[in-house]
Amino acid sequence: MLGFAMTEKRQFERAFFDDTVSVQHGNDTFEARARDLSVGGVYLLSDRKLAHNAAVVVTLKLPALVERGKPPAVLEGVVRWIRDDGFGVQFGPTGALATYALADYVARRNHQL
């Protein structure tokens, strides 16, 4: 029997994230349920089937932004993988405030800060 080891390709630590987010794909906007989140992307539960490499804009509320009275993060990204229950989005450049808010969420969630 041939054996092989799966190598984790994720660059950023992920954290459980359970919230409804807005997804824009072209002229279509729909809601999806976020399952996990990192500085680099998000996994979305959805019955919508988007194509690999589809450009999307994800809008989500992050505690660090809410606490400062800031609007939700609006993050451009690309669909990088598709599963039966949803799809993974890799974020493009996020900007300093959104990057901080994403990193803050992961740190709080995973390290009880």
| Full residue range of the structural domain in which residue 95 is found | 15-111
Indicate whether 3 pLDDT > 50.
no
Q: Domain for residue 73, yes or no?
A: yes
Looking at the domain assignment, is residue 40 inside a domain? yes
Closest CA to 60 of 76, 49, 46, 47: 76
- CATH number assigned to the domain comprising residue 77: 2.40.10.220
- Token output for 6: 């799966």
Residue 10 above 60 pLDDT? no
| pLDDT bracket for residue 2 (50, 70, 90) | very low
Q: Does residue 61 lie within any of the structural domains? A: yes
pLDDT for 5: 44
- Provide the 3-class DSSP secondary structure of residue 111: helix
Q: What is the mean pLDDT of residues 31-58?
A: 96
Banded model confidence at residue 99, pLDDT cuts 50, 70, 90:
very high
Q: What pLDDT, in 10s, does the model give residues 58-82?
A: 999 999 999 999 999 999 999 999 9
According to the model, what pLDDT value does residue 8 have? 46
Whether residue 64 lies inside any domain: the answer is: yes
- Residue 10 within a domain: no
Asked if the structure places residue 6 within a domain, the reply is: no
What is the sign, positive or negative, of the torsion defined by CA atoms of 34, 41, 80, 94?
A: positive
In a domain, 8, yes or no: no
Q: Identify the residue whose tokens are 């803050």.
A: 104
E strands in 1-113 = 15-25, 28-37, 41-45, 55-60, 73-83, 86-91
Q: What is the domain count for the chain? A: 1
Q: How far is Cα 101 from Cα 110, in angstroms, rounded to an integer? A: 14
Is 3 inside any structural domain? no
Quote the DSSP letter at residue 95.
-
**In which band, very low, low, confident or very high, does the pLDDT at 12 lie, cut at 50, 70 and 90?**
confident
Q: pTM of the entire structure?
A: 0.87
